[in-house]
Amino acid sequence: MTRTLRTPNKRSCELCDRTEVWDEDSGAWRVASGDDGPRVGSLHCIHEWDINGSFAPFAGRRDAVEG
Ligand SMILES: [Zn+2]
């Protein structure tokens, strides 16, 4: 059985433009690189994350009931 738990792999702050990407190896968010260097945004920002793409906790697939 394969679990289809979908998680976002990129997010950006709507307030300070901080951008992070998900690092599976370390299991943590890392600051993404921009054209002018890392997009760290503001250190004092509370960060209003805007998840790119359509984020859904679970894949929109109903479990198939097999007889
Ligand atoms: Zn922010």
pLDDT at 8: 72
CB 2 within 8 A of CB 36: no
Going from the Cα of 57 to the center of ligand 1, the distance in angstroms, rounded, reads 23
3-state secondary structure of 63: coil
21 dihedral zone (left: phi>0; alpha: psi -120 to 50; beta): beta
Domain that holds residue 6: 1-37
The answer for residues whose C-beta is within 8 angstroms of residue 53's C-beta and 6 or more apart is 8, 10
**pLDDT bracket for residue 39 (50, 70, 90):** very high
C-alpha–C-alpha distance, residues 23 and 63, integer Å: 29
Per-residue pLDDT for 18 more than 90?
yes
Going from the Cα of 61 to the center of ligand 1, the distance in angstroms, rounded, reads 33
pLDDT at 37: 93
In a domain, 59, yes or no: no
In a domain, 42, yes or no: no
- Domain count for the chain: 1
Residue 24 tokens, joined? 């599976």
Going from the Cα of 18 to the center of ligand 1, the distance in angstroms, rounded, reads 6
pLDDT at 33: 92
